Amino acid sequence: MIGIIAAMQEEVVDIVSMMSGVEKKLIHETEFYVGTLSNKEVVVVRSGVAKINAVVSTMLCLTNFPIDCIINIGSAGGLKEGMKLLDVVVSTEVAQHDLDVGNERGKLSGQPRFVEGDATLIAKAKEAASTLTDIHVHEGLIVSGEQFIMTSAAKEIMEHFPNVACVEMEAAAVGFTCYRMGVPFVVIRSVSDIPHQEGNGMTFEEYLPLAARNAARLTKAVVEMI
């Protein structure tokens, strides 16, 4: 079974609409949608926003369903040079940009600073992306933190993580949980805003549903190849 985790209702609705035989379950106040997608058994989880919700929801998914791999989907702020609204990012690795305890930013003693996505899932995502000619797909580092990023914060993140592709609030939590639990994962995020450009908040509200749809489309294409 494939676990698909998204934070917000806007990020869940499109992927669930692509499923068949959907059954909604509520486990410890977390919404799960169980069904099939491209003839594969999947469960979609609405985690809620931010890292703690993502960790709890990932663990609930892993402990209540026979999960073979996790795909974290949704929207993100684009930071990579040349990135445009509604582009999609496939994670090569994830990190926490707001973890600052005296080591390198994002580094906790005894734990890696970066966690890599599963190579097979990344390869399938890249292959799937080639079938969606209207979506521009990037790959790279996705960083997570507990705030909506505006211009000054975006510049600070890029100083600490020069190779960052995009920023959001849950991917690192999902990735580190999967790493600890030995479960393959990949993150697929579509760009809803460009944090180092003016008018970021308005852009996010306007483009969130469109970005979520692009992420869902690529996710469906990936599931077809798993």
- Residues marked as catalytic: 11, 193
Q: What are phi and psi of 12, to 5 degrees?
A: -95, -35
Cα separation, 202 vs 198, in Å, equals 9
Cα separation, 101 vs 220, in Å, equals 39
Q: List strand residue ranges (DSSP E) for the chain, in order.
A: 2-6, 20-27, 30-37, 40-46, 69-78, 88-96, 115-116, 137-144, 164-168, 185-193
Terminal Cα-to-Cα distance of the chain (whole angstroms)? 10
Those residues whose C-beta lies under 8 Å from the C-beta of residue 125, and which sit 6 or more positions away, are 90, 137, 139, 186, 188, 218, 222
Cα separation, 24 vs 43, in Å, equals 9
Of the candidates 35, 46, 31, 47, the one whose C-alpha atom is nearest the C-alpha of residue 1 is: 35
